[in-house]
Structure 1
Amino acid sequence: MSQPDYSILPSPPFDTISRIQYSPTDPNKLLASSWDSTVRFYHAGDPNERPSEQLVKFEHRAALLTCCFSDASHGFSGGLDATIRHLDISTEKITTVGSHTDAVSGMVFSTESHALVSGSWDCTLRLWDPRSATAQQSQTTTPERVYAIDMTNHNIVVAMASRLFNVYDIRNMAKPSQQRESSLKYMTRSLACMADGQGFVTASVEGRIAVEYFDDSPAVQAKKYAFKCHRHTVDDSDHVYPVNALAFHPIYNTFASGGSDATVSIWDHKVKKRLRQYAKFNNPVGALAFNCDGTKLAVGVGYNWDHGEKGMHEKPGTEIAIRKLGDEVKPKSWTG
C-alpha cells in the first residue's frame, strides 16, 4: 500500500525483491533484482519534476538473488542459475561473465580494484575482472554456503551458513584475514558494512541485530553488542520477526533495518538508540538501499515466504517505495 511520505515506482517486479542498489554516482537511478527473473533499472526522481519510470528491464532464465552496479551505466546480476551476467544499461545488452556451480547469492564490485567478487551456495568466492578475456581471476573456498556479501574500503565481509563470518582483504583473497562466529544465536538474514569502514552489522531470523568491529584489539571488541528489534507485543504475546535488510547511510553512518513486521527503523549504533520508526507497510520489507548522496531511501516491499504458500495468497503484490529523507537519519551529535 502506498503512503503519503513515499513515492512508488511504476512497473514493480512481480515477485519478491531480492536486492536494491542505487547508482554509485546518480542519486536518482537504481537497480532492483527479483525472484521474477528480472533486473529492473529505474529513474526514481522527484515526482514534482521528472516522473519516476522503469528505463530498462533485463530478462533472465531463473530467479535472481543479487545485483550490483560497477559504474553508472553497467551492472551485474546472479541467481539460481549459477551464472554471473554483465548488464550494459546503455545498450540493454546482457553478456555472460562466468558461473558458479550453485546459486549466486551475493556480489560486490570494487571500483578501486575494478573487480567483481561473487559468493555462492557452492561454498566459493570468485574474483572476476570483466575486462579480461579470462574473466575469473581467482577462487576461494569458504567453510559454508555464502548467504550475503558486503564491502567497505578493502574489507569484504562474507556471511555464511552455520552462523559463520569471514573477512577478506580484496588485495589478498587467498585466505580470510579474520574468521568469526555470529554473536546471534540463529541464522544470519542480512549484513551491511559501516560507511566509515570501522565494522559491520548483521541481523538474524529471530529479530536481533549485532554490531561488530574489524579492529580485534580487546578495547574495540568490548564495544560490540547485540539488541532486540522488529518485535511487537500482541495480546500479551511477543511476536518476533526476521530482520531481512540492513543499509548504512553514506554520510551519517546511521543505518536502516527492515523486517518481516513490515516496518523500517533508523538506528544510531554509536549511542545505541533508534532514531525513527516509519509507518508500517502492508507486506514485509525485504530490501533497503540509500542513494549515493544520502537524500533518499529505497524500500523493497513484498511477501517473502515466511508463512509458506498460504501467505502468498493472503497478501500478494510487491512495490518499491522511495522516501525522501530529513534529519531523522542524522545522529543527534552530528556537527558536520
Structure 2
Amino acid sequence: MSSSQFSVSELPGDAISSLRFSPHPNSLRFAVASWDRSAYLYEVADGKTCVLLAKYEHRAPVLDICFGKDDNELFTACLDWDVRRIDVASGTQTVLSTHDNGVRSVVYSQTHSLVISAAWDSTVHIHMHPGSDNPNPEWTSATITLPSKPFSLALSPSKLVVAMANRAVHIYSLSTLATDSKASTSSTNPQAVLTIEPWQRRESSLKFMTRAIDCMPNDEGYASSSIEGRVAVEWFDPNPESQARKYAFKCHRQPVDDVDVVFPVNAIAFHPVHGTFATGGGDGVVAIWDAVAKRRIRIYPKLNASVAAASFSANGKYLATAVSPGFEDGKDEIAEGSLGIFIRELGDNEVKRKAK
C-alpha cells in the first residue's frame, strides 16, 4: 500500500499549539489545542475523511491537550493557568488545579492514572484520579518545584522527562511520583507540596533551547529537539556503555539564496509500533528517522507553513500533522491557507526500519 494524504476541512480559527492522536487501541480520534481559546476533537472516518466531533471553548488560549483513561476524557493546559478535565460526552469541564502562570504541557500516564502538567511558574502538578489507588472522592494534586521554566513534557511507560530552560533535563520515576503523591495528599490536604528528587538530572545535548521532546515506546530513551535545527537521541540507562550511544544531528535546514537557513524543530513523535520517529520543522517539512541506525528513512513534500505538531495513531497507520505560522512568529493574523491539519495514511513499510 502506498501512502495518501488528505486535509481536514473544519479547522480552528487561530494558531494550533498541540495535536495528539488517542493512544487507545482501535481509536482513530485525535485532539487539537488552539490559540482561538478552544479544544477540538476529531475522528478519522474511513481513511479518506475526517469528522469534527466536538469543540470545547476555554477562557484563554489552549497550549496543550491529551487523552485520559479512555476516549471520553480529555485534559487541557491553558494560558489562564488552569488544568482542565473535559468529559467528552457531556462537554463538562472541571478544573483540576491552577498554576501561578500559563500551563505549557499536560500528559497522562495510563499505568499510574496520573495527569501531569507543567507551567511557566516552574512547577509540575501531579493530579490523581479519584478512586482506583486514590481513596479520595475528589481529584487531588501535588506540586513539585522545578529549577527553571519547563518547555516540554514526555512520558515513557516508566519515566517522566521534563525539558527546561538553561538546557536542564529532569527524569522522574513515575512509580515514585505516584507513591509519594498519594502518600502526601488527603481529603484534608488535597494539594500537597512535594520534594521529590529526580531519578536523573541531565544537561541537554543540544546547545540551544529545547522545543519538543518524546519518549521511545520501548521505554529505553527519548529524543529532543531545539530551536536551532538539531535533534538529540538519548538513552535512560546510566551505564557508560548506553550513554556512549547518545548523539545529536542537524536537520530542517533549507538553502535560501545560497544561505543555509536553520529552522526550529517544533515536533517529535515516535511511531508506536516500529519505534522510528517523525520530526516537523519550521521549514514545513516532516521527516522520518531511524534512531538506532542513525539515518533518515523518508522526507515528505514541503507543506505550506511551519509544522506545529505531529502525532501517530495508536495502530501506527496514520500520521497527523498540523501547520500553523502563528506557532513560529506570533503574528496576530493567520494568512489564508497557512493553517492546516493533514492526515497521512501510511504505507505498510513507510516508517519501518530498513533491513541492514
What TM-score comes out, normalization by structure 2 length?
0.88
Residue aligning to 2:233: 211
After superposition, where does 1:11-160 map in structure 2 within 5 Å? 11-25=10-24, 26-47=26-47, 51-70=49-68, 71-131=70-130, 132-160=136-164
The 2-side partners of 1:143 and 1:171 are apart by 22
Contact 1:65 1:80 in 2 (8 A): yes
SS in 2 for 1:306: helix
| Aligned pairs, number | 328
Distance 1:263 1:153 in 2: 29
The one of 176, 179, 183 aligned to 2:205: 183
**2:350 aligned counterpart, secondary structure:** helix
- Say whether the 8 Å CA contact 1:265–1:274 is kept in structure 2: yes
* TM-superposed deviation, 1:136: 2.9
Of 297, 304, 309, which residue of structure 2 is paired with 1:282? 304
Residue 135 of structure 1: how far off its partner (Å): 2.2
- Residues 15 and 317 of structure 1 are in contact (CA less than 8 Å); yes or no, is this contact kept in structure 2? no
CA distance in 2 between counterparts of 1:280 and 1:46 reads 25
How far apart are residue 305 of structure 1 and its match? Answer: 5.0
Which amino acid is 1:151 matched to?
L
Determine the structure 2 residue equivalent to 1:232. Answer: 254
Distance 2:355 2:127 in 1: 41
Deviations 1:37-85 (A, max 9, x none): 111001122255xx42111100000011111101111110012111011
User: Percent same amino acid among aligned pairs?
Assistant: 38
Residue pair 1:98, 1:135 contacting (<8 A) in 2 also: no
Kindly indicate whether residue 172 of structure 2 is the aligned counterpart of residue 168 of structure 1. Answer: yes
* C-alpha distance in 2 between matches for 1:314 and 1:43: 26
Instruction: Read off the aligned partner of 1:322 and give its amino acid letter.
Output: I
* Residues 247-297 of structure 1 deviation map (CA, whole Å, 9 limit, x = unaligned): 000010000000000000000011111000000111000100000000000
Which stretch shifts more, 208-217 or 109-118?
109-118
How many Å separate the matches in 2 of 1:305 and 1:78? 16
Tell me, yes or no, if the aligned pair for 2:22 and 2:71 is still in contact at 8 Å: yes
> Aligned equivalents of 1:44 and 1:32: distance in 2?
13
Give the match's secondary structure for 1:329: coil
- Change in Cα spacing, 1:38 to 1:314, as seen in structure 2 (3 Å) is closer
Partner Cα distance (1:287, 1:211) in 2: 19
Equivalents in 2 of 1:298, 1:313: separation in Å? 20
Moved more, 219-228 or 312-321: 312-321
Check conservation: 1:19, 1:33, Cα contact below 8 A.
Answer: yes
Match of 2:340 in 1: 319
Q: CA deviation at 1:233?
A: 1.7
The change in CA–CA distance for 1:180 and 1:12 in structure 2 (over 3 A counts) is same
How far off its partner does 1:133 sit? 4.2
DSSP-derived class of the 1:171 partner: helix
Q: Are the aligned partners of 1:303 and 1:316 in contact in 2 as well (CA < 8 Å)?
A: no
Displacement, 1:134? 4.6
Q: Does 1:252 align with 2:274?
A: yes
Counterpart position of 2:293: 271
SS of 2:326's partner is coil
The residue type paired with residue 292 of structure 1 is A
Q: Distance in 2 between matches of 1:237 and 1:5?
A: 33
SS of residue in 2 equivalent to 1:46:
coil
Shift of 1:234: 2.4
Instruction: Tell me the equivalent position of 1:195.
Output: 217
Equivalent-residue separation in structure 2 for 1:233 and 1:271 (angstroms): 26
Query: Which 5+ residue runs of structure 2 have no aligned equivalent?
Result: 131-135, 178-195
Check conservation: 1:126, 1:136, Cα contact below 8 A: no
- Ranges of 4+ aligned residues in structure 1 off by more than 6 Å: none
Change (3 A) 1:122 1:133: farther
Which residue type is aligned with residue 166 of structure 1?
A: H
Give the AA of the match of 2:37. S
- 2: CA distance, partners of 1:323 / 1:27: 16
Q: Which moved more, 1:146-155 or 1:300-309?
A: 300-309
CA separation of 1:283 and 1:96: change in aligned 2, threshold 3 A: same
The answer to whether the 8 Å contact 1:126/1:140 transfers is yes
Q: How far apart, in 1, do the equivalents of 2:238 and 2:289 lie?
A: 24
C-alpha distance in structure 1 between counterparts of 2:168 and 2:35, whole Å: 26
Distance of 2:147 and 2:294 partners within structure 1? 32
Counterpart Cα distance in 1 of 2:327 and 2:11: 18
Q: Do the aligned residues in 1 keep the contact of 2:15 with 2:334 (CA within 8 Å)?
A: no
